[in-house]
Amino acid sequence: MKSIKVTNTGGPEVLELEEITLDKPGADEVQIEHVSIGLNYIDTYHRSGLYPLQLPTGIGLEAAGIIKEIGSNVSNFSVGDKVAYAAAPLGSYSTHRNYPSKNIVKVPDNIDLEIISSAMTKGMTTFYLLHKTYVPKKGETVLFHAAAGGVGQFFCQWAKSLGLKVIGTVGSQEKIEIAKKYGCDEVINYSKEDFAKKVTELTDGKGVSVVYDGVGKSTYDKSIECLKLRGTMVSFGNASGALDPIIVSKSLQPKGIYFVRPAMNQYFTNSEEIHEAANMLFKQISSGNVKIEIYKKYKLEDAVQAHMDLEGRKITGPAVIIP
């Protein structure tokens, strides 16, 4: 058995592969043999210390696998069940682990474990963005930053299934076609074009009712410009760096903007909430509304390279680690 450990925060080089032994699962735990592990940008925040953690720590929030053993209090899962999860405690970068049964879901037989291991975090993020944080109405126009990225590919497809018009931004010309492939109606290359000006043109000067922004520092100011009166700014990530302190009187007050800073742990606080999101994700995948193509697979011992590729913007689709 092997696992990735982080003893000190820093660059990708701090990821250490070590041999482990596991005790029997606790009374409310199951022991999972991982088949596939999801690779997510938030993993780099945990590794770098942007999101502080008590050290040493495991890393990774998402995986899928087979239950090998169950704790004495576990009655709703059995040995051999296909399961997946996307929640703390961290430690999915491992071949095996003991994990709380309250946070796992059974995976339908028609859904591949590699596919769902790449989809839980991104899909459940999309679920809470569209169904909880701000719920747009059919026909509404929304702006999503990094539309060709991991969450963006899920979001654009899911949003189209709800009848929304999606304006997306990307950082390079080659990503324009990726965003369009996954359902973006209009795509703006913000490295070459003023996206706030273009959004104003595309909306006949009205602006959008909501901006979903996982990029952060580099897009915040112009995102506010894109919003209509009493619009909603949903800031859910920091890919370009953490936001500077917000001056309410300058950025929010002039148009009465609502600012929201959501995270998964706010929406998935119990088993019922986790299952609601997971079942909706399974439905979207099974129906074909959300199509997933694994862009790249890494070995567990190549986790350092995987993080280098993540931060170097070399991954343009869902990626997984195969233990």
pLDDT for 242 equals: 76
Q: Which residues on adjacent β-strands are paired with residue 187? A: 168
pLDDT digits (tens, 9 = 90+) for 280-290: 999 999 999 99
The pTM of this model reads 0.91
Q: What is the pLDDT of residue 316?
A: 79
Q: Which residues pair with 105 in a beta bridge?
A: 84
For residue 267, give the H/E element and its range. helix 264-267
**Contact predicate 30/70, CB 8 Å:** yes
Core vs surface per residue 135-153: b (16+ CB within 10 A) or e: ebeeebbbbbbbbbbbbbb
Instruction: Say whether 148 sits in a helix, a strand or coil.
Output: coil
H/E stretch holding 46: helix 42-48
Domain annotation for the chain: domains and CATH numbers: 2-119+292-322 (3.90.180.10), 122-263 (3.40.50.720)
- The overall average pLDDT reported for the chain is 95
Strands 15-19 vs 57-58: parallel, antiparallel or unpaired: unpaired
Per-residue b or e along 89-125, where b marks 16 or more CB atoms closer than 10 Å to that residue's CB: ebbbbbbbbbbbbebbbbbeeebbbbbbbbbbbbbbb
Give tens-digit pLDDT for 246-282. Answer: 889 999 999 999 999 999 999 999 999 999 999 999 9
* Number of helices followed by number of strands (H, E) in the chain: 11, 16
Query: Confidence band (pLDDT; 50, 70, 90) for 244?
Result: confident
CA distance 109 to 169: 36
Q: Among residues 150, 113, 152, which one has the least CA distance to residue 130?
A: 152
pLDDT in tens, 16-43: 999 999 999 999 999 999 999 999 988 9
Give the residue from 42, 72, 54, 67 showing the smallest Cα distance to 237: 42
